[in-house]
Structure 1
Amino acid sequence: MSGEPLTKKVHQEEDSSKIGTHNGTFHCDDALACFLLKQLPQYRNAEIVRTRNQELLATCDVVVDVGGVYDPSKNRYDHHQRTFNETMNSLDSSKKWTTKLSSAGLVYFHFGRDIIAEVLNWNSDDKKNLEKIYDKVYENFIEEVDAIDNGIHTHDGEPRYRISTNLSSRVAHLNPSWNTPNQDFDAGFDKAMKLTGEEFLERVHFYYNTWMPARNLVLSAVNARIKVDNMGSIMELNQGGCPWKDHLLDIEKELGIEGDVKLVIYTDQEGSWRVQGVPPVLGSFECRVYLPEKWRGLRDDKLSEESAIKGCVFVHSSGFIGGNKTREGALEMAMHTLKAHSL
């Protein structure tokens, strides 16, 4: 299904279409699913019908999160039935994600490329980069919604603390309180659609305007790393603020050099330099190598004295990052770190 056309049409009439979903208490996935559908031309002016009445749902062009049916040929996208266990991977074996889909994930799987193309006014035939954005938005936005709605934890065992400000939690807070008179769930649902939609659009634009252009910079830096360090263990970026971590990990995998780059030096927004350990996987707080323990928590002159390197600014107490006033100083800190790890 990964080859579905970008111009897939589900309903040709723009003014009379209906999107059905359940009434009462709403969640992040149904609010987001409805917002996503309304980004498509055929549903842009669609009426949202919130009901559990099967006769009313039968009049809708598309139904999400209610009805007990998943059948894309009939535009039915519920995930609550006992027999439902679909994931991105089960529907498209080229995708790695095995989190059970919610109604948002189902809509995104079937229409996500079209939605992104509409949002970005994508006139290019460049399907490869569109697919990269599609994947990143799922991995870093939609999958979380799917997992939370289906009760799938990020970890095993007892959590050390509770995250209560994620998107799903904020949507839940838009439901009327139990003791509020004249409860207006529909007004809250409209706010939930707006909230989830704004964050979805922000993610799409981030990956298009900020993340995607950074890839070429990181690729060039990977290819030039031997000029920085003859072992190829240090990568240099001369443009501050460039998102590099997931690009580096992807490029290493593509080039068959996974784990080769241990440290990255780069400018910060004020013109100073940073040296930072590369995480083994995206999102990890671990590093392939850490700056020397005896430097950690020191600053300025004390750090320069301890390291015998001029211009030192700081080293974080965990050792994952440090700073220097100059490129030469940051590179020297990186080289000393590799030597300390016998690399």
Structure 2
Amino acid sequence: MSDLAATKKQRTAQVLCTHAGTFHCDDALAHALLRQLPRFADAELRRSRDPAVWDQSDIVFDVSGEYDPPRGRFDHHQRGFNEVFGHGFTTKLSSAGLIYKHYGQEIVSTILGEPVESPVVQQLWLKMYGDFVEALDGIDNGVAQYVTTEPPRYRSRTDLSSRVGALNPRWNEPSTDDVLLDGFNKATELTGSEFLARLDYLHKAWLPARDIVVRAVEARKDVHPSGKVIVFTEFCPWKEHLHVLEEELSIPKDELPLYVLYPESEKPDAKWRIQAVAVSPESFDSRKALPEAWRGVRDDALSTLTGIPGCVFVHAAGFIGGNVTKEGAMEMAIKALDL
């Protein structure tokens, strides 16, 4: 056994190491993710660019110029590095993505208290990469979010990477090791809390909504023979689930849902909404907007125009409307299909 291996064996506490100096969102999140695992919860943190310190560490991330998981090396800066998450994702990984790729299933399993092999863990592991981690990989590696030569129409400085960056000392403030360590610890807490909040939402709200959408999609031809109208008896976040399920179920293009109906609230006398399905989850364009003649018209004037009692409104953009009753909203949907 080498002296280095013997030294590591003698240690009881794990050692995590990242680079010294200015920190970024990816190394802060990588640190926060590792801390979710019991064996690293009380690990010693070292911030150093000294190879001798790396050799005394169990996990080295965002520094060292090596990607070697069996040796605990997770850097992405070296020449020739092009690792991606896989599973359909093609964004080059940062240290956050590397840690999540190798430890993410175990992390999600630990947080949720579910077996690693459970469908819930597997689904949320992938979902959290796409919803949370991938953007940080892209930002850290300089991957443009949009493929265009047009300049952005506005700037955002409220994203997680920007907020972590702001925790570094300003150019005209002291930048000692202690100040940087304090900022890095704050960044770890910030990224970790946001990761946990997103996972909690997906587990307790997003995932249960999928079951509701599945039932509604399966029953769509009972609602209307075209299959182009979907009715939810309760509101839930349905847009993303619907587009995913359409692919999974291989719904023919000429049978894709065009309108979704749902109550405004859980009250027995709640009004009903009719919403046009967007061409994609991120799009503001509808597959078939509500008729142009209805847009911007309200109440009795809209009921007279459509010949449908109880109309409340149709938005000027035509993507959503309302009726006092479910039956009225259904009439609006059926009539809109033919216009």
TM-score normalized by structure 2?
A: 0.90
Q: 2:161 aligns with which of 160, 163, 168?
A: 168
Q: Cα–Cα, structure 1 residues 301 and 281, in superposed 2: closer, same or farther, change >3 Å?
A: same
Give the letter for the 1:262 counterpart: L
Give the distance between the partners of 2:318 and 2:175, measured in 1 at CA: 55
Give the distance between the partners of 2:145 and 2:50, measured in 1 at CA: 35
Higher alpha-carbon deviation: 208-217 or 264-273? 264-273
Structure of greater Rg: 2
Q: 2:248 aligns with which of 235, 241, 254?
A: 254
Give the distance between the partners of 2:260 and 2:249, measured in 1 at CA: 18
Give the distance between the partners of 1:301 and 1:175, measured in 2 at CA: 58
Q: How does 1:222-233 map to 2 (within 5 A)?
A: 222-233=217-228
Q: Which residue of 2 aligns with 1:128?
A: 119
Higher alpha-carbon deviation: 110-119 or 47-56? 47-56
Q: Which residue of 1 aligns with 2:297?
A: 298
Q: Cα–Cα, structure 1 residues 179 and 21, in superposed 2: closer, same or farther, change >3 Å?
A: same
Aligned-residue offset at 1:126: 5.6
SS of the aligned residue for 1:98 comes to: strand
Q: 2:69 aligns with which of 60, 72, 88?
A: 72
Structure 2: which 5+ runs fail to align? 1-7
Q: Cα–Cα, structure 1 residues 126 and 228, in superposed 2: closer, same or farther, change >3 Å?
A: farther
SS of the aligned residue for 1:88 comes to: strand
Give the letter for the 2:292 counterpart: E
| 1:268 has 2:264 as partner | yes
Q: How does 1:13-92 map to 2 (within 5 A)?
A: 16-89=13-86
Aligned-residue offset at 1:170: 0.9
Give the distance between the partners of 2:297 and 2:319, measured in 1 at CA: 13
Q: Cα–Cα, structure 1 residues 295 and 15, in superposed 2: closer, same or farther, change >3 Å?
A: farther
Q: How does 1:209-220 map to 2 (within 5 A)?
A: 209-220=204-215
Q: Which residue of 2 aligns with 1:7?
A: none
Give the distance between the partners of 1:12 and 1:239, measured in 2 at CA: 57
Aligned-residue offset at 1:302: 3.2
Q: Which residue of 2 aligns with 1:312?
A: 311
Q: Which residue of 1 aligns with 2:326?
A: 327
Aligned-residue offset at 1:334: 1.3
Cα RMSD of the aligned pairs, angstroms, is 1.9
SS of the aligned residue for 1:274 comes to: strand
Give the distance between the partners of 1:22 and 1:325, measured in 2 at CA: 61
Does structure 2 retain, via aligned residues, the 8 Å contact 1:14–1:41? no
Superimposed CA distance per residue, residues 316-335 of structure 1 (whole angstroms, 9 cap, x where no aligned partner): 22211122221112112211
Give the distance between the partners of 1:168 and 1:116, measured in 2 at CA: 22
Superimposed CA distance per residue, residues 8-60 of structure 1 (whole angstroms, 9 cap, x where no aligned partner): xxx99995111111111111100000000110111111111111111112111
Q: Cα–Cα, structure 1 residues 137 and 13, in superposed 2: closer, same or farther, change >3 Å?
A: farther
Q: Which residue of 1 aligns with 2:144?
A: 153
Give the letter for the 1:230 counterpart: P
Structure 1: which 5+ runs fail to align? 1-10, 90-94
Q: Cα–Cα, structure 1 residues 332 and 169, in superposed 2: closer, same or farther, change >3 Å?
A: same
Q: Cα–Cα, structure 1 residues 194 and 302, in superposed 2: closer, same or farther, change >3 Å?
A: farther
Does structure 2 retain, via aligned residues, the 8 Å contact 1:249–1:258? no
Does structure 1 retain, via aligned residues, the 8 Å contact 2:169–2:175? no
Structure 1 runs (4+) greater than 6 angstroms displaced: 11-14
Does structure 2 retain, via aligned residues, the 8 Å contact 1:26–1:172? yes
Does structure 2 retain, via aligned residues, the 8 Å contact 1:311–1:326? yes
TM-score normalized by structure 1?
A: 0.89
Higher alpha-carbon deviation: 210-219 or 32-41? 210-219
Give the distance between the partners of 1:164 and 1:231, measured in 2 at CA: 45
Does structure 2 retain, via aligned residues, the 8 Å contact 1:235–1:265? yes
Does structure 2 retain, via aligned residues, the 8 Å contact 1:12–1:42? no
* Identity among equivalent pairs (%): 47
Give the distance between the partners of 1:160 and 1:200, measured in 2 at CA: 28
Q: Cα–Cα, structure 1 residues 245 and 13, in superposed 2: closer, same or farther, change >3 Å?
A: farther
| 1:115 has 2:112 as partner | no
Give the distance between the partners of 1:302 and 1:23, measured in 2 at CA: 67
